[in-house]
Amino acid sequence: MSIPDSSAVAMHVYDNIRQRIIDLTYPPGTRLSEARLALEMGLGRSPIRTAFARLKSDGWIEVSPQSGTYVKSPDEDEIREIFEFRLLLETHVTRLAAQNISAGQLQRLRKMYKRLSPEAGAEADSFDDFNELDSLFHATIYGAANNKLMTSALLNLLEKVKWLKKSSPTTPQRMRLWFAELGRILDALEARDPDRAANCMREHIGNAADFAAAVRERMASRRQAGVGGGKAPG
């Protein structure tokens, strides 16, 4: 009987906990118990401890000797840095993708886009579907840029972006605008127009940053006023 590689087990635990954080099974501020997770997963504490070390390094959790381990709540500086990084790098990779993307990649994006369009009967507030569409768009564009270093950096960040979006309340109106923005990016990619594609991506990320900032500001005002209301990303 083969013994599972300890690093592979720790990686499985890392992926499992990270996905629960992204899905908000463990929302920001949730206390994570090493003992409880070990019992739940049928493992010893060592792979849990190893996974915690990487989750901390990657910015998913905070560990305090006094109060324990908690899911991290990203602060304003971290959120600003994420959007600044995306505006800089994604605009460039979208320009490259418009020149390099394959016909097959474009067909897959257009097929999914049509499936989720209002004309196809998609619900205006199907956030999870739209979130997956957005992630597919970005991941496809990263790959089509044909730059492994930039693709790796952006794919690592994409999970954080999905987490921030799920942590922030989104309106049906914003989702309709979001959908239209993706449509303009796709049109520009299909036209093989690097400048237009880059400008559309810049608009898309800028609008997302402005919307998220406005949501956080409203929620902060509500908290200061003593009014409850949803989960905040930071």
CA dist 53 and 14 (Å) reads: 9
Q: Which of 80-84, 119-123, 147-151, 191-195 has the lowest mean pLDDT?
A: 119-123
Q: What domains appear along the chain, each with residue ranges and CATH number? A: 6-71 (1.10.10.10), 76-224 (1.20.120.530)
> What radius of gyration do the chain's Cα atoms show?
20
Tokens 């952006």, residue?
154
* Per-residue pLDDT tens digits for 161-206: 888 887 776 778 888 888 899 999 999 999 999 999 999 999 999 9
Q: Which of 22-26, 141-145, 168-172, 179-183 has the lowest mean pLDDT?
A: 168-172
Whether the predicted pLDDT of 229 surpasses 80 = no
* Per-residue pLDDT tens digits for 152-163: 999 888 888 888
Task: Give the predicted TM-score (pTM) of the model.
Answer: 0.79
Stated length of the chain: 234
Neighbours of 199 (CB within 10 A): 17
Q: In DSSP terms, which residues pair with 70 in a beta bridge? A: 31, 62
**What's the CA angle centered on 193, arms 165 and 85, to 5 degrees?**
35
